[in-house]
Amino acid sequence: MSNLPTPENDYAVSPTTPLTSELWRVTVVDIAKRLRILESIKVSFEQIENAGIDAVLARINVILQPAIDEVNALLAQARAESAEINDILTEIETRGVPATSITTTAVGPVAPGNVQASLAGLMAQITASANAASQALAAESAARAAAITAEASVRAAEINRISPRYATVQKFM
């Protein structure tokens, strides 16, 4: 049969082309072969894509984990100091001595004045320091995530540019 469809003519048939087993063998076998090739390329690309996402997530963890640990340590320290301050205030108040009547001198970050005011000032400093560290971590996390996303986009564009097989796959997806 000389007028069999081919890949070059997109398997076009004429109204006079008889539907024979030879016609089906020529067209279906070739199309099936092409589909298997496309499916294997798609699977390979999905594996590469998943590996890239996993690598980016691992990199984010490596970059951010020390900062997260530092903020968590600061928060734990602030909580411990706050609990200690509350215990001291409770002790002072249960003994019948108002904290406002006890004066202190300046020691480290504690300002001179009455104990209650000094401790309130110290708590404000601790809270401000913890909030600043938390905001800095959030800003750094956002900046690094944006940088990683931008790099991933550039790499994906480069893959698209250098991989003609990928462009062929995308046409069929």
pLDDT in tens, 63-91: 888 888 888 898 888 888 888 888 887 87
**How many percent of the chain have pLDDT more than 70?**
78
Residues of the domain holding 120: 7-172
Establish if 2 belongs to a structural domain. Answer: no
**Tokens standing for residue 125:** 């400093």
Establish if 122 belongs to a structural domain. Answer: yes
Please give the C-alpha separations between residue 58 and each of 24, 49, 63, 79, 161, in angstroms, as whole numbers: 50, 14, 9, 30, 26
Establish if 148 belongs to a structural domain. Answer: yes
Mean pLDDT of 51-66: 84
Confidence band of 157 (pLDDT split at 50, 70, 90): confident
State the total domains in the chain: 1
Establish if 75 belongs to a structural domain. Answer: yes
Establish if 1 belongs to a structural domain. Answer: no
Question: For residues 3 and 14, is the Cβ–Cβ distance under 8 A?
Answer: yes
